[in-house]
Amino acid sequence: MKGEPARLGPRVGVTAARKGAELATSFERRGAKVLHGPTLGGDRPVDDEVIATAIDRLAELRPKWFAASTGMGMRLLGEAADRTGRRDALVQVLEHATVVARGQKAAGGLRRLGVTPVWTAPDERDFQVEAWLAERVRPDEVAAVQVHGAGGDPYGRLTRVGAVVETLAPYVSAPPDDPAPGTRLAEAIVAGDLDVVTFMSPGAARGLATLASAAGMGDEVREALNGPVAVATVGPVTRDGAHDAGYAVTIESDHRTGALVRAVMNWWTTHG
């Protein structure tokens, strides 16, 4: 409003759990006012028995295709295979299949199992892997996909072309132990008390949507994050997760916390 003093820094909403405190401190050092409201409880490995059952099923199905989505997922998959005596079975599944990776971290996880992917998505995005496979998979062929824990269905197109899709989720993105801070963040978004909201993972965006809907503010939060409140994300996967939640991404950076902070502060110099 005309006549109001200019704010020194943006009002930033931080949704991250594990890196939230670090991110908040980095913003505050640059003059931002931060509201920290975790919308996700962090990624948690699933039980070994669940992974063992999944490996046994893959050993039986012998998929023709295998897609690795995340480095952490492949690491957890390999560790659980070791603990349950199924490493050889997992490696045989991978060696039998045509293997692709969503990004370099996932490719590294495959190499730790002695397998080199034949192709890696250039922009590290699920839809690129899905499109690559959809052009090659024939009806009734089995495609196994190691998915991230944030939920969603990034490989639904494979089912539509007639493939048999088997998913492996070595970890899940859990809701926050205390939903109150995330709900307060949603309230601040609707009230116009924030200039920008940051997301470090696709699960954080979906988590905000879940918390907002539970509090009866789902539509209002979506409207605000498509208008007056900017959305900042790291990497293409988080960007896609924000889009899936219905939020318009204004600011993008790479996967480093420092890069996100710089991107937001640079944006503020022209929008504040």
In angstroms, the Cα distances linking 119 to 108, 116, 132, 158 are: 13, 9, 9, 17
Decide if 164 contacts 140 (C-beta within 8 A). Answer: yes
CA torsion 39-259-108-201 (nearest 10°) is 10
d(CA 202, CA 154): 12
How many Cα neighbours within 13 Å face the side chain of 98?
13
Query: What is the distance between the alpha carbons of residues 89 and 151, in angstroms, rounded to a whole number?
Result: 26
Contacts of 97 (CB under 8 A, 6+ apart): 62, 63, 64, 65, 66, 144
The per-residue pLDDT string of the chain (272 residues; one tens digit each, 9 = 90 and over) reads: 444 555 679 999 999 988 899 999 999 999 999 999 999 987 789 999 999 999 999 999 999 999 999 999 999 999 999 999 999 999 999 999 999 999 999 999 999 999 999 999 998 888 899 999 999 999 999 999 999 876 666 688 899 999 999 999 999 878 898 999 999 999 999 999 999 999 998 889 999 999 999 999 999 999 999 999 999 999 877 888 899 899 999 999 987 789 999 999 999 999 87
CA-to-CA distance for 146 and 99, rounded, in angstroms? 11
Where do the domains of the chain lie, and which CATH numbers do they carry? 11-41+175-271 (3.40.50.10090), 44-173 (3.40.50.10090)
Find the length of the chain: 272
Residue 1, pLDDT score: 40
**Helix, coil or strand: residue 4:** coil
Tokens of 129: 């892997």
Query: What is the pLDDT at residue 225?
Result: 98
pTM here is: 0.72
HEC string of 64-92 equals: CEEEECCHHHHHHHHHHHHHCCCHHHHHH
Confidence at residue 2, expressed as pLDDT on a 0 to 100 scale: 47
How far is residue 121's CA from residue 125's CA, in Å, rounded to a whole number? 7
